[in-house]
Structure 1
Amino acid sequence: MRQGQVLKSYRVSLGGQPIGPKEREGDERTPEGPYVIDSRNPNSAFHLSLHISYPNAADSARAAKLGVAPGGAIMIHGIRNGLGWLGRFQRLRDWTRGCVAVTNPEIEEIWRAVPDGTQVEIVP
């Protein structure tokens, strides 16, 4: 967003259980809400990955109430290395373990345009 205007949105694939907020490690849900891009990995198992600041304080508190680990390593990334040929077909189902997946050309665009520290909103 810039000055309250959405600059771009993407069709994405989410965790295998996309309905409802992430509650614990291994639930295959994608966190919902505001986060920050806090690091990047050009050498991940997926084509480029941007780490989001999950779990935040509220996520950790919710997991603690449930007596479970909140999980972590939630990324915005491209397709698994070696499977880039899937392209847009990867959108046919939600397949990640809680991450946000886009096509390889899209993650390259996001990688160039979005610096660390950028706020992102994950909306169901």
Structure 2
Amino acid sequence: MSFFRVAVTLLALTFLAGCGSKFQTYTGPEVTRVVLFKEHRTLQLFHKGQVLRSYNVGLGFAPEGHKEVEGDGRTPEGHYYVDRRNPNSAFHLSIGISYPNEMDRAKAYELGKSPGGDIFIHGRGKNVSASKAKGDWTWGCIAVKDREMEEIYAMVRDGTPITIYP
């Protein structure tokens, strides 16, 4: 093979290898707030009041109402923030939501139960079929398509406020 063919082949392989990564780079405006509208199944990323991106989501399998206790299948409602990220999530990628807050813990303990935790925005991963993922199927998390989760993971930083409306 000529040097030119080898160089072009290596360049093409490098490009294709980069396309396979789940980690994207984002250099646009800072995401200053994440907002979820449960009723509309819409997650929006904002920069100072301007919508940067909007996604359709799946919620907990019992989406009506605020999450009160572990295992109730509800997605929380209220004011939280992004508190962690998991690059090795079983659901492709995930970013954690600071549920439960003090009020959530107090309410659950009043009921004699655990408030639960581990609420994330995450992808589908390899174990969730496209047909299952069309509805509300999580245990209280917010689910998007894997490619969308890659974008969200790149755009949203730890500490970003998230408001979840009914």
Confirm or deny a common fold (TM above 0.5): yes
Compute the displacement of 1:112 (Å).
0.5
One-letter amino acid matched to 2:162: V
User: 1:76 corresponds to which residue?
Assistant: 121
Query: In 2 relative to 1, CA 112–73 (structure 1 residues): closer, same or farther, beyond 3 Å?
Result: same
* 2:160 aligned with 1:118: yes
Q: Judge conservation of contact 1:12–1:91 (CA < 8 Å) in 2.
A: no
Match of 1:59 among 104, 113, 120: 104
Match of 1:104 among 143, 146, 150: 146
Q: Distance in 2 between the 1:50 and 1:28 partners? A: 19
Q: Distance in 2 between the 1:104 and 1:123 partners? A: 23
Structure 2 residues without counterparts, runs of 5 or longer:
1-45
Equivalent positions of 1:8-23 (< 5 A) are 8-23=53-68
TM-score normalised by L of structure 1: 0.89
Cα deviation 1:50-106 (Å, max 9, x = unaligned) = 0110001111111111111000010100003354x72xx555210001100000111
Compute the displacement of 1:11 (Å).
1.0
Q: Judge conservation of contact 1:74–1:98 (CA < 8 Å) in 2.
A: yes
TM-score normalised by L of structure 2: 0.68
User: 1:95 corresponds to which residue?
Assistant: 137
Would you say how many aligned residue pairs link Structure 1 and Structure 2?
Answer: 121
Q: Judge conservation of contact 2:124–2:133 (CA < 8 Å) in 1.
A: no
Compute the displacement of 1:121 (Å).
1.4
* Cα RMSD for the two superposed structures: 1.5
Which structure shows the bigger proportion of residues in strand conformation?
2
Compute the displacement of 1:33 (Å).
1.5
Q: Distance in 1 between the 2:110 and 2:51 partners? A: 35
Q: Judge conservation of contact 1:34–1:120 (CA < 8 Å) in 2.
A: yes
Secondary structure of the residue aligned to 1:9 is: strand
Percent identity for Structure 1 against Structure 2? 55
Of 42-51 and 7-16, deviating more is 7-16
Q: Judge conservation of contact 1:36–1:53 (CA < 8 Å) in 2.
A: yes
Q: Distance in 2 between the 1:25 and 1:2 partners? A: 33
